Each structure stands twice: as C-alpha cells, then as structure tokens.
C-alpha cells in the first residue's frame, strides 16, 4: 500500500487508531484476570514513576528526602481490525492515585467496575469516580466460588446505582463471559451517547 | 576502597535505586520529551528498519526502533523495555524529532464519546473473537 511518509518501510499500512476501556474495582477482585481473559497477549504491566511534586495530595509529612511513588497498571490488547486497536487497562487500586485515573479515563469508551459480593464496598470509590466524571460504566459481579449469590437487583440496590446502569454477573476468568461484559458496556455507552446527543440538541 | 564504576560498589541498596535513578540516567536527566505528548495508547511505528550509531541515540532508542517494527502503543513499549512511561515518552520525543518514528495519537474526543461507528466496530470485533 502506498501510504504515509516516504521513509516508512515499503508496504506499511496506515497506523490504526487506539481506543481503551478501563477495568476498575477493589484489590483482588479480578481486574488483571479479566484483562488476561480477553487480551490477545498475556497482560503487560506498565509503570509510572511519580515524583513528590506530582503526587500532590499524597501525605509525605515526615519524609525528608525527595520521594517517588511507582504506580503500576496491567493492560491488554485486542486488535479489532486493521484500523482499530482496543486496549484494556486495569486501574491502579489505591485511592490516592486518582490523578492517574484521570489520565486513564480521558477518552476511554467506558469502564467495567468489577464487584465481589463479599466485599461490595470495595467498588464504591470506582463507582463514585465514574459517576462524577460521566464515564459510562457497568457493574460486573465476579462470581467467586463460595460467595453467596445475590440477585442482581439486590446488588443494584446495595450499590445505590442509577437504574440505567447495567449490572451483570460474570466469571472474569472466562473469555466469553468477559466479552459479554465488554459488549454490555459498549451498548450501554452507545445509548448514553445517543441520549446526551439528543439532550444537547434540545 | 572501590573505584567508581567498580561492580562491587553497591551504594544503592534500597528501592530508590533501580526504578528511580536509571530512568533519569537513560534520558540524561530530562523529564519531558522535546516534542509530542504521547498518550499511553498513542500508537508508534518505526520509519526505518534499523538505526545505526547516530549521534545522541542510546541503546534504549535503538531498542524502541527495533520494537516498533510492529505497531506498539506507548504503554506496550514501556512494558517491553521495563522502563517507566515517563522515560519512554522522553525517548520517543527524541525519535520523533529525528523522524525515526511515526506516532498516531488516539482519537480526540473533546466532546465526550467517539462516533457510533467506532462502538459498532468494537462490538462486532469482540463478537467475532
């Protein structure tokens, strides 16, 4: 294909566009497992090293030397087509890394909030974050063995979710299950997008 | 006494050593790229099959050009080279300034969510997996 700049390797195709979806939730809820279940490669890990000034609200009182913090994010990749690549990012778990979330959430198609019914409160911060930001999200209840099963409307009520927010059951280890969660999210995001477009047009 | 550079000289023993000092050594102490912003999912491809010993390029630059013979995101480059994203951004800026890499920034979505056809393409792509 004759495209792009002359110094590019012969036969190179135009660069695809990348998009991303976030996988959020509490520590140990299965974020990286879900990324790995649908990714075409094993999950990769990337790190941001943040210096004292970048940490902002972090409490460093009593720390005399210049400090740094490393925030790790696991992610995976799904090649959708020749011109579209989807990345899935597991969000860093600690609340004090919200500013990293801001970078991750910018331009994201949406987010999956993974929930464990044994520790439901662990996903509250993620839900608050995406609600506040207006990022489309779904809640996926990861069905751990040994966990009591709840009805989805019970989970919806316990999380005090907007009735429009989908709540689904999943097994984060299973590719088909993880795919279904992502498709539910994308369909929900499309509906939200259409509703916002109509509201803006009024 | 050990001389500087002697492998037995191990002053950096805590976790401040590797992950903090080395990245800034790799970039010559620079924290920001000379050009470009480089989102985590900006896609990068090399414009040449290899680079020789061009002045100012280090082994990490050469490694990036090697990696980017296949299209890679900034996050993937950082993960494969085991370098922090900030360091990779600086190195990519050097390469972009020399036109050794081509970069595609992610779809700009200032008004919120992307076009409907992007969603449809992703849904269809996922179903086909």
**Residue of chain A whose alpha carbon sits nearest to that of B119:** A186
Give the C-alpha separation, A135 to A189, whole Å.
9
- Quote the distance between the C-alpha of residue A86 and its chain's center: 12
Query: What are the φ/ψ torsions at residue A142 (nearest 5 degrees)?
Result: -75, 120
CB atoms within 10 A of CB A178: 27
Q: In the prediction, which pLDDT does A97 show?
A: 74
Counts of helices then strands in chain B (DSSP H, E): 5, 3
Is residue B11 in a domain? Answer: no
Which range has the worst mean pLDDT, A12-21, A107-116, B64-73? A12-21
Count of domains observed in chain B: 1
Q: Which residue has the higher pLDDT, B74 or B56?
A: B74
The domain of B32 spans: 17-127
Is residue B93 in a domain? Answer: yes
Mutate to test the interface with B, among A99, A107, A186 (most CBs of B within 10 A): A107
pLDDT band at B60 (very low <50, low <70, confident <90, very high): very high
Q: Is B109 on the interface with A (CB under 8 A)?
A: yes
Dig out the tokens for A165 from the structure: 């927010």
**pLDDT tens per residue, range A117-135:** 889 999 999 999 999 999 9
For A156, the enclosing helix (H) or strand (E) is helix A152-158
Q: What angle do CA B33, B36, B37 make, to 5 degrees?
A: 85
Dig out the tokens for A131 from the structure: 């609600």
Does A47 contact B16 at a Cβ distance shorter than 8 Å?
no
Q: Which residue has the higher pLDDT, B42 or A53?
A: B42
Mean of pLDDT values over A172-179: 96
Does B45 contact A12 at a Cβ distance shorter than 8 Å?
yes
First to last CA, chain B: 61
Dig out the tokens for A50 from the structure: 């943040």
CATH topology of domain A17-201: Rossmann fold (3.40.50)
Contacting residues of A for B89, CB less than 8 Å apart: none
Give the C-alpha separation, A46 to A41, whole Å.
14
The C-alpha of A151 sits at a distance from chain B's nearest C-alpha, in angstroms, of 27
Q: How many CA atoms lie within 13 A of A5 on its CB side?
A: 12
Looking at residue B20, the DSSP 8-state letter turns out to be I
Contacting residues of B for A190, CB less than 8 Å apart: 116, 119-120
Q: What's the CATH code of the domain at B118? A: 1.10.10.10
pLDDT band at A10 (very low <50, low <70, confident <90, very high): very low
Share of chain B above pLDDT 90, in %: 53
pLDDT band at A99 (very low <50, low <70, confident <90, very high): confident
Does A77 contact B73 at a Cβ distance shorter than 8 Å?
yes
Residue in A7, A109, A194 nearest the CB of B114 = A109
**Residue of chain A whose alpha carbon sits nearest to that of B124:** A80
Query: What are the φ/ψ torsions at residue A127 (nearest 5 degrees)?
Result: -65, -45
pLDDT band at B3 (very low <50, low <70, confident <90, very high): low
Give the C-alpha separation, A40 to A76, whole Å.
7
Mutate to test the interface with B, among A5, A15, A43 (most CBs of B within 10 A): A15
**Residue of chain B whose alpha carbon sits nearest to that of A46:** B79
Q: Within A6-144, where are the H helices?
A: 31-38, 52-55, 98-105, 124-133
**Residue of chain B whose alpha carbon sits nearest to that of A188:** B119
Task: Starting at the earlier edge strand, list the strands of the sheet with A137-142.
Answer: A44-51, A68-81, A84-90, A17-25, A110-115, A137-142, A167-170
Does A44 contact B112 at a Cβ distance shorter than 8 Å?
no
Q: In the prediction, which pLDDT does A129 show?
A: 93
Share of chain A above pLDDT 90, in %: 54
Contact criterion met (CB below 8 Å) for A29 and A123: yes
Query: What are the φ/ψ torsions at residue A60 (nearest 5 degrees)?
Result: -115, 15
Mean of pLDDT values over A141-146: 83
Burial class (CB within 10 angstroms; exposed 0-12, middle 13-18, buried 19+) of B122: buried
Does A85 contact B73 at a Cβ distance shorter than 8 Å?
yes
Q: Within B15-99, where are the H helices?
A: 22-26, 59-67, 74-81, 85-97
Overall pTM surpassing 0.80 (yes/no): yes
CB atoms within 10 A of CB A145: 5
CB atoms within 10 A of CB A83: 12
Task: Starting at the earlier edge strand, list the strands of the sheet with B101-104.
Answer: B72-73, B43-46, B101-104
Q: Which of residues 26-45 of B touch A (CB under 8 A)?
A: 39-43, 45
Is residue B46 in a domain? Answer: yes
Pick from B46, B44, B45, B104: nearest CA to B75: B44
């Amino acid at each position: 294909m004759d495209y792009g700049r002359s110094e590019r390797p012969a036969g190179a195709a135009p660069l695809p566009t990348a998009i991303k979806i976030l996988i959020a939730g509490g520590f140990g809820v299965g974020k990286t497992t879900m990324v790995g279940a649908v990714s075409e490669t094993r999950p990769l890990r990337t790190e941001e090293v943040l210096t004292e000034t970048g940490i902002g609200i972090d409490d460093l009182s009593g720390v005399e030397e210049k400090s740094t913090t490393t925030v790790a994010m696991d992610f995976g990749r799904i090649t959708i087509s020749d011109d579209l690549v989807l990345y899935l990012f597991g969000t860093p778990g600690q609340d004090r890394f919200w500013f990293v979330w801001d970078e991750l959430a910018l331009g994201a198609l949406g987010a999956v909030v993974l929930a464990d019914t044994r520790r439901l409160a662990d996903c509250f911060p993620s839900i608050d974050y995406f609600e506040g930001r207006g990022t489309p999200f779904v809640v996926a209840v990861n069905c751990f063995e040994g966990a009591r099963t709840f009805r989805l409307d019970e989970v919806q009520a316990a999380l005090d979710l907007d009735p429009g927010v989908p709540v689904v059951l999943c097994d984060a280890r299973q590719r088909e299950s993880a795919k279904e969660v992502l498709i539910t999210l994308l369909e929900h995001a499309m509906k939200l997008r259409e509703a916002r477009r109509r509201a803006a047009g009024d | 006494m050990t001389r500087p550079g002697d492998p037995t000289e191990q002053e950096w023993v805590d976790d401040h050593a590797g992950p903090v000092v080395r990245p800034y050594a790799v970039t010559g102490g620079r924290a920001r790229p000379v050009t470009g912003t480089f989102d985590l999912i900006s896609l990068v491809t090399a414009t040449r099959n290899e680079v020789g010993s061009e002045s100012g390029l280090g082994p990490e630059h050469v490694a990036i050009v090697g990696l980017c013979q296949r299209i890679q995101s900034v996050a993937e480059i950082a993960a494969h080279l085991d370098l922090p994203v900030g360091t990779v951004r600086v190195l990519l800026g050097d390469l972009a300034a020399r036109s050794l890499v081509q970069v595609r920034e992610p779809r700009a979505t200032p008004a919120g969510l992307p076009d409907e056809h992007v969603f449809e393409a992703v849904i269809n792509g996922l179903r086909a997996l």
